[in-house]
Amino acid sequence: MPGAQCLSLQDAWSDQKGQIHLDPQQDYQLLQVERTPEGLALLFKRPFGTCDPKDYLIEDGTVHLVYGILEEPFRSLEAINSSGLRTGLQRVQLLKPNITFPATPSDTYTMDIHAPDIQIPNQVTTYWCYIHELPEGFPRHHIVKYEPIVTKGNEALVHHMEIFQCAPEMDNVPHFNGPCDSKMKPDRLNYCRHVLAAWALGAKAFYYPEEAGIAFGGPGSSRYVRLEVHYHNPLVIEGRRDSSGIRLYYTDKLRRFNAGIMELGLVYTPVMAIPPRETAFVLTGYCTDKCTQLVSGVGPGTTPSVFPRPLVEAWQVVAQEGWQAQLWFP
């Protein structure tokens, strides 16, 4: 292809056998073509909804972009079968809500917890763990906001990140910087599971309400936190350096309430997938008596009031010493 003038962008769809067909309704408009060190960069636009049954309706939420790489030129789109291509997947958020964020309080400090210039492994999926130690004698603070720090150029590789605080009894956690599944990972890192912050691709900064914050530091709190970064590298890019992480905004002026993060769900498995064309999906989990004792106001004949209705319905079950929570995803 000698120049950009030879380039054309066409709207097409694939059938169940992977055969590509040119769409008679062309809804994509090519705006700009630019040569970059990585290749050609295309800028194009398309309405979110096209009223074309062959087009994907772009809505709020995560969108999976599937792409295929041609090994050699083809004379026409109809000559391409996607089942024979080297394909990949990229998760993006094409449509984002217009949210007004509050101003950051003037009495806050910042703390960056990030990977220390690591080299992203040349494999599709990597979970990277890094131990960060809080200053000696760090008093109790409230986290009031956090936001992602993603190394420029790695936006497509950093899938999600979490910061976990280690258990209070862990007064000494070995420093570690490496893959979370490494045989060299100290066993004590398994006790760093209390979530302080969580971010996923497409999300912006997270603010707590003015009357609440996540408590960390001080008596009864470990000085050690674990950063976990999930890298998604479908093209198996080599030699890419990264220092991504999360920036915490915290204050020593404690707020009225301690906020908390509750994780619901099971292990990552296809069984957790929502079947297609379902009007509702029920996910059922059971809490042990050891868990429910930590929730205020839960006992025989009571239902917990800590869950916002109508998102969660909870009730007592006549079995064991616990209760059952049923989550509805309408």
Residue 126 DSSP SS3: strand
CATH of the domain at 148: 2.60.120.310
Is residue 120 domain-shared with residue 238, that is, in the same domain? yes
Res 285: pLDDT: 67
Could you say which DSSP state residue 19 is in? B
Single-letter amino acid, residue 61: G
Structural domains counted in the chain: 3
**Same domain? 202 vs 325:** no
Do residues 226 and 283 both lie within one domain? no
Beta carbons of 249 and 144 less than 8 angstroms apart: yes
Check residue 152 and give its pLDDT.
92
> At 289, phi and psi to the nearest 5?
-65, -30
pLDDT recorded at residue 62: 77
- Which residues are 214's β-sheet partners? 143
d(CA 202, CA 172): 35
Would you list the DSSP string of 231-250? EE-TT---S-EE--EEEEEE
> pTM of the prediction?
0.68
Examine the domain organization and report whether 232 and 119 are in the same domain: yes
pLDDT in tens, the chain (330 residues): 444 456 778 899 888 888 889 899 999 998 988 888 878 888 989 998 999 998 988 887 778 888 888 888 777 788 888 888 888 777 777 887 777 778 888 889 999 999 899 999 999 999 999 999 999 889 999 999 999 999 998 988 999 999 999 998 878 889 999 999 999 999 898 889 889 999 988 788 999 999 999 999 998 889 999 999 999 998 888 999 999 999 999 999 999 999 987 776 655 566 677 788 888 887 776 667 776 666 555 444 444 444 443 333 333 333 333 444 444 444
Rounded CA-CA distance 165/19 in Å is 50
**Residue 296 to residue 292: CA distance in whole angstroms:** 8
Domain co-membership, 322 together with 191? no
187 occurs within a structural domain: yes
Both 8 and 53 in one domain: the answer is: yes
Q: How far apart are CA 190 and CA 167, in angstroms?
A: 9
- Residues 50, 183, single domain; the answer is no
> Among 311, 212, 322, which residue's Cα sits nearest to residue 261?
212
83 and 194 co-located in one domain: no
Domain extent at residue 71: 4-92
